[in-house]
């Protein structure tokens, strides 16, 4: 089966920053994403306990290379200084490329 | 000493004991935890119960009597947020964002603290005016909106100055920034009014008002008889969260600890005094004082994290939940009750004296 190369952008951030990420995605016309609540440990200490507002969320977005750098640039510029956030990019292959245009 | 006795008696109520128990459970690193769904449900339940109670009481007293206390409360809330900021910025040397975030956290009302206050008065067998619940709903967004507005003003002034230093033809850019901030402010207003706390509170006040005592009878067992028990369960969770944060308190510094103890005391006493002057009952004056003494730790992070993201949430959540909340439920509530009783007696005496003079 023919596979198409795409990028997977993974963002782990505090749950209250989730709307910021989704706003940025919408701004760049990326409408598809998946998120789930997660917990873990990092430079800000153990997260995901206590108040609902202090939980973490992991957002996965599949997108094309050309959109990726714009989205990533805006996330880095507007969110890295103030929010608890980790982002990374991986290469993936998809079957139906038309779903991620 | 009367105050000590009342504080002592208050420490041995289930609500306070469960809170302390939660703190201890967290300190000994127990894995005790209230399930997520329940700890999300309980604040909604508590607000619904408070709202219904308020609505029922308002039906008895009518709206006219609440207008003056409401307007005074709004004015006080604004004034307090402003002087909190001045104290934090100038004496505490906090940066502008932390100052505004903390100022509004302490200017806002804590709904959980409010519930504990109601259960405290219930324990003592003292009634309070129901319309204070409606004031709670109105007051909820005010301190935040003010702080966000002022932060935006300060920030846009700074950017304007910086831009002018670079270029003369900056008007278009500055305008753009201004409109952005206006929409941000509008968004906050909309979000905090349609936020779940205010929606459930106002909804239940209306329902309570509509159903009256007869309609309330069949649901009384859930919303009145279970109320204190539900607070006790919720306070286990609050105790656990506070217990986990105890180490963070030191990071806030001595000034913040002092602020988190002194400010509620001063604001609470001002509230009790003004309420007494406005003619509220003994219990009503305590609840009115509590509106100003309490700090918000559930609503505050949700609003402030979006609007003043530069402020450190560890500062405002930790001081509100770790210091102010336990201090209020253990010490300040009994103190405010005694002060309220004393003020009322004084007023009665003054009034008696006046009547004597008139004769």
Element (H, E) at B299: helix B299-307
Which pLDDT belongs to residue B166? 64
Q: What is the pLDDT confidence band of residue B249, given thresholds at 50, 70 and 90?
A: confident
Question: Does residue B354 carry a pLDDT above 60?
Answer: no
Q: What is the pLDDT confidence band of residue B358, given thresholds at 50, 70 and 90?
A: low
Distance from CA of A30 to the nearest CA of B (A): 22
Which pLDDT belongs to residue B167? 60
Cross-chain residue pair A14–B306, CB shorter than 8 Å: no
Cβ–Cβ under 8 Å, residues B298 and A53: yes
How far is residue B110's CA from residue B270's CA, in Å, rounded to a whole number?
A: 17
Chain A residue numbers touching B305 (CB-CB < 8 A): 14, 16-17, 53
Element (H, E) at A10: strand A4-14
Q: pTM score > 0.90 for this model?
A: no
Of residues B138 and B233, which shows the higher confidence score?
A: B233
B294 Cβ contact list (under 8 Å, min separation 6): B109, B110, B113, B114, B117, B264, B324, B325, B328
Question: Does residue B4 carry a pLDDT above 60?
Answer: yes
Q: What is the pLDDT confidence band of residue A99, given thresholds at 50, 70 and 90?
A: confident
Q: Where on the phi/psi map is residue A56: left (φ > 0), alpha (ψ -120 to 50), or beta? A: beta
A51-60, B57-66, B85-94, B250-259: segment of lowest average pLDDT = B57-66
Instruction: Write the CA distances from B267 to B115, B264, B297, B340, integer angstroms.
Output: 18, 5, 17, 14
How far is residue B28's CA from residue B138's CA, in Å, rounded to a whole number?
A: 40
Chain B residue numbers touching A52 (CB-CB < 8 A): 36, 39-40
Share of chain A above pLDDT 70, in %: 97
Chain A residue numbers touching B317 (CB-CB < 8 A): 51, 54
Q: What is the pLDDT confidence band of residue B356, given thresholds at 50, 70 and 90?
A: low
Where along chain A do its domains lie? 4-93
Q: What is the pLDDT confidence band of residue B271, given thresholds at 50, 70 and 90?
A: very high
B161 Cβ contact list (under 8 Å, min separation 6): none
Cβ–Cβ under 8 Å, residues B272 and B247: no
How far is residue B43's CA from residue A4's CA, in Å, rounded to a whole number?
A: 48
Instruction: Write the CA distances from B300 to A77, B232, B321, B335, integer angstroms.
Output: 25, 22, 11, 26
Cβ burial of B185 (10 Å; 0-12, 13-18, 19+) is: middle
Cβ–Cβ under 8 Å, residues B209 and B55: yes
A26-40, A67-81, B269-283, B339-353: segment of lowest average pLDDT = B339-353
Contacting A residues, span 70-99, partner chain B, CB-CB under 8 Å = 81-83
How far is residue B292's CA from residue B287's CA, in Å, rounded to a whole number?
A: 9
Cross-chain residue pair B244–A50, CB shorter than 8 Å: yes
Q: What is the pLDDT confidence band of residue B245, given thresholds at 50, 70 and 90?
A: confident
Mean pLDDT, all residues of chain B: 86
What string of DSSP letters covers B122-182?
HHHT----THHHHHHHHHTTHHHHHHHHHHHHHHHHHHHHHHHHH-S--HHHHHHHHHHHH
Instruction: Write the CA distances from A43 to A33, A58, A77, B9, B248, integer angstroms.
Output: 26, 17, 20, 43, 15
Which pLDDT belongs to residue B268? 96
Q: Predicted ipTM?
A: 0.76
A22-26, B73-77, B247-251: segment of lowest average pLDDT = B247-251
Cβ–Cβ under 8 Å, residues B146 and B107: yes
Q: Name the range with the highest mean pLDDT among A46-60, B140-154, B233-247.
A: B233-247
Which pLDDT belongs to residue B174? 54
Query: Closest Cα partner for B118 from B106, B107, B126?
Result: B126
Question: Does residue B24 carry a pLDDT above 70?
Answer: yes
Which pLDDT belongs to residue B186? 76
Question: Does residue A59 carry a pLDDT above 80?
Answer: yes
Interface test with B, best of A15, A16, A49 (most B CBs within 10 A): A16
Cross-chain residue pair A49–B36, CB shorter than 8 Å: no
Question: Does residue A98 carry a pLDDT above 80?
Answer: yes
Distance from CA of B298 to the nearest CA of A (A): 8
Cβ–Cβ under 8 Å, residues A56 and A47: yes
Cross-chain residue pair A50–B241, CB shorter than 8 Å: yes
Read off the pLDDT of residues B132-159 as tens digits, 9 standing for 90 and up.
Answer: 988 998 888 888 888 888 887 877 777 7
Cβ of residue A101 closer than 8 Å to a chain B Cβ: no
Which pLDDT belongs to residue B102? 93
Of residues B304 and B350, which shows the higher confidence score?
A: B304
Do the strands A4-14 and A85-94 form a parallel or antiparallel pair, or are they unpaired? antiparallel
Nearest to B310 among A52, A53, A82 (CB): A82
What DSSP state is assigned to residue B301?
H
Of residues B303 and B293, which shows the higher confidence score?
A: B293
Which pLDDT belongs to residue B171? 56
Burial B259-289 (b: 16+ CB within 10 A, else e): bbbebbbebbbbbbbbbbeeebbbbbbbbbb
Read off the pLDDT of residues B323-339 as tens digits, 9 standing for 90 and up.
Answer: 999 999 999 999 999 99
Which pLDDT belongs to residue B168? 55
Task: Enter the CATH code of domain A4-93.
Answer: 3.30.70.120
What string of DSSP letters covers B203-253?
HHHHHHHHHHHHHHGGGHIIIIITHHHHHHHHHHHHHHHHHHHHHHHHHH-
Average of pLDDT values for B29-55?
91
Do the strands A85-94 and A56-63 form a parallel or antiparallel pair, or are they unpaired? unpaired
Which pLDDT belongs to residue B288? 95
B63-67, B81-85, B236-240, B242-246: segment of lowest average pLDDT = B63-67
Share of chain B above pLDDT 70, in %: 90
Nearest to A16 among B241, B306, B310 (CB): B306
Q: What is the pLDDT confidence band of residue B347, given thresholds at 50, 70 and 90?
A: confident
How far is residue B248's CA from residue B314's CA, in Å, rounded to a whole number?
A: 8
Which pLDDT belongs to residue B85? 93
Average of pLDDT values for A60-78?
92
Of residues B183 and A41, which shows the higher confidence score?
A: A41
């Amino acid at each position: 089966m023919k596979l198409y190369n795409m990028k997977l952008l993974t963002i782990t951030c505090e749950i209250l920053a989730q709307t910021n990420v989704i706003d940025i995605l919408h701004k760049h016309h990326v409408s598809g994403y998946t998120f789930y609540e997660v917990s873990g440990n990092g430079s800000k200490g153990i997260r995901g306990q206590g108040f609902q507002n202090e939980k973490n969320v992991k957002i996965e977005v599949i997108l094309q290379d050309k959109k990726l750098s714009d989205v990533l640039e805006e996330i880095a510029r507007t969110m890295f200084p103030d929010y608890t956030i980790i982002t990374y990019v991986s290469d993936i292959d998809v079957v139906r490329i038309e779903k991620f245009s | 000493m009367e105050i000590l006795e009342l504080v002592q008696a208050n420490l041995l109520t289930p609500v306070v004991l469960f809170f302390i128990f939660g703190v201890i459970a967290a300190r000994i690193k127990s894995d005790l935890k209230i399930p997520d769904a329940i700890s999300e449900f309980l604040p909604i339940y508590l607000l619904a119960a408070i709202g219904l109670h308020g609505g029922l009481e308002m039906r008895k007293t009518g709206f006219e009597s609440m207008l003056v206390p409401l307007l005074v409360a709004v004015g006080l809330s604004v004034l307090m947020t402003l002087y909190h900021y001045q104290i934090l910025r100038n004496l505490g040397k906090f940066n502008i964002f932390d100052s505004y975030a903390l100022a509004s956290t302490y200017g806002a009302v804590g709904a959980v603290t409010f519930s504990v206050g109601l259960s405290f008065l219930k324990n003592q067998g003292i009634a309070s005016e129901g319309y204070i619940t409606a004031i709670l709903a109105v007051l909820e967004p005010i301190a935040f909106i003010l702080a966000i507005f002022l932060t935006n003003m300060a920030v846009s002034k700074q950017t304007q100055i910086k831009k002018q230093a670079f270029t003369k033809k900056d008007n278009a850019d500055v305008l753009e920034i201004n409109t952005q901030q206006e929409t941000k402010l509008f968004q906050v207003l909309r979000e905090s009014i349609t936020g779940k706390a205010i929606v459930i509170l106002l909804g239940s006040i209306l329902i309570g008002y509509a159903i009256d005592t007869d309609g309330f009878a069949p649901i009384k067992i859930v919303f009145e008889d279970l109320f204190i028990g539900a607070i006790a369960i919720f306070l286990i969770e609050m105790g656990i969260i506070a217990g986990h944060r105890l180490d963070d308190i030191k990071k806030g510094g001595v000034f913040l600890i002092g602020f988190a103890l002194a400010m509620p005391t001063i604001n609470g006493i001002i509230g009790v005094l003004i309420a007494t002057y406005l003619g509220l009952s003994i219990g009503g004056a305590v609840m009115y004082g509590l509106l100003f003494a309490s700090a918000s730790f559930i609503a505050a992070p949700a609003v402030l994290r979006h609007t003043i993201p530069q402020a450190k949430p560890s500062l405002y959540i930790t001081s509100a939940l770790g210091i102010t909340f336990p201090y209020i439920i253990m010490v300040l509530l009994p103190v405010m009750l005694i002060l309220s009783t004393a003020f009322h007696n004084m007023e009665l005496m003054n009034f008696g004296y006046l009547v004597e003079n008139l004769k």
